[in-house]
Amino acid sequence: MSNLGKFTQTADWRKEKHVPVIEEIGQPQKGETFALRLSIGKEIAHPHTTEHHIRFIKLFFQPEEEKFTVHLGTYHFEAHGESVEGPNEGSAKCEPAVTTNITLEKPGTLLALSYCNIHGLWENSREITFSS
Ligand SMILES: [Fe+2]
């Protein structure tokens, strides 16, 4: 019995700004490296202030017909406008988006978790199949 739903929320990312968007760039093929983009706020921007921001996105893969999940990466976003001048006065921010390269030997399901410091943990998943 899964407890994940007790900790996470999900929705359509086009309507809910916290849901991580998972987009492969190109068509994944067995054993071939491809780029994957993870982002927050593609359709509806999430606030990005010292007080309210996205801290990280985690990425997992559940291979088809396997029991155990693979952790592919954790992408931290560390700069939210903090400065000696005060909150939101900093000269740089990192946006909650990342492109990474992954290689899959089996089809399966990607799971992304995003964390907002105010609104908690959100999830999205995406089936990955190989074209023949
Ligand atoms: Fe939020």
- Give the pLDDT confidence score for residue 88 in this predicted structure: 97
- Give the pLDDT confidence score for residue 3 in this predicted structure: 85
Q: Could you confirm whether 119 is annotated as catalytic?
A: yes
* Phi, psi (rounded to 5 degrees) for 110: -90, 140
- Say yes or no to pLDDT of 1 above 70: no
Q: Could you confirm whether 116 is annotated as catalytic?
A: yes
Average pLDDT over residues 37-44: 95
Distances (CA, A) of 54 to 62, 63, 80, 92, 103: 24, 27, 9, 15, 26
Q: Could you confirm whether 71 is annotated as catalytic?
A: no
Q: In what order do the strands lie in the sheet with 54-63?
A: 8-9, 120-128, 108-116, 54-63, 70-76
Catalytic residue among 16, 24, 82, 95: 16
CA 70 to chain centre: 15
pTM attached to this predicted model: 0.94
Catalytic residue among 30, 52, 71, 76: 52
Mean of all residue pLDDT scores within the chain: 95
Nearest CA to 50 among 112, 102, 94? 94
